[in-house]
Amino acid sequence: MRVLGIDCGTEYTGYGIVDLLADDRLACVVCGAIKVSPRDPMPTRLSRISTGLQELISRHRPDRVAIEDVFYAANVKSALKLGQVRGVAMLAAASAGLEVAEYSPLSIKSAVVGYGRAEKHQVQQMVTRLLNLDQIPEPADAADALAIAICHLHTAATHERQAG
C-alpha cells in the first residue's frame, strides 16, 4: 500500500509518500513541502497547493491519502484558512478517486512514537528511524506529513489484523 500524508498549512503544506513493503518494512518514496507566499491572495495560494498535490498524486499514484484533523488554531481567521487548505487537499484526493483518512495529532503521535503527547523532535526522530532515513526530513512539515502517512499504514494494518 502507498499512502500520501499531507500536513496542511497556509505557508508550507508538507507531503510525504510512504510504501508498506511486502516484508512489512516502511519506505519513503518522496517528501517535501509546497511553499506558498503569505503575500499572495488566498485563492492563488490554494490554487498552487491544489496543483502541487494533483501533480504528486498523478506522478506517484498513492492508494490512499491521510491528513491531520484541525486541532488548534491561534484564532478564528487562522482556523478558517487552515480549513480552506484542508478542503483543497481533500478535493485533490477525491478528484483522483482516492479515499481520505483524517487523524488527530494524538493518534498520529501515538501511532509513530507510542505516546500521544510526544514532542515534535521525538516524532521527527521516530519517522527517521521507521523509514531508515539518513537524516530528519526537512522541512519539519515534510516529517509531519510522513508521520501522518505512517499513522495511516499502522492503523490500516491494525484494522486488517482485527478483521482477520
Check: CB of residue 66 under 8 Å from CB of residue 152: yes
DSSP calls for 50-81: HHHHHHHHHHH--SEEEEEPP---SSHHHHHH
Strand partners, 31: 16
* Residue 10: strand, helix, or coil: coil
Question: Has 63 been annotated as catalytic?
Answer: no
Cis peptide before 43 (omega within 30 of 0): no
Question: Has 7 been annotated as catalytic?
Answer: yes
| Catalytic residue of the set 19, 23, 40, 68 | 68
Q: Any residues with CB less than 8 A from the CB of 92 and at least 6 apart, and which?
A: 50, 53, 54, 57
Question: Has 141 been annotated as catalytic?
Answer: yes
| Catalytic residue of the set 55, 119, 141, 160 | 141
Annotated active-site positions, please?
7, 68, 141
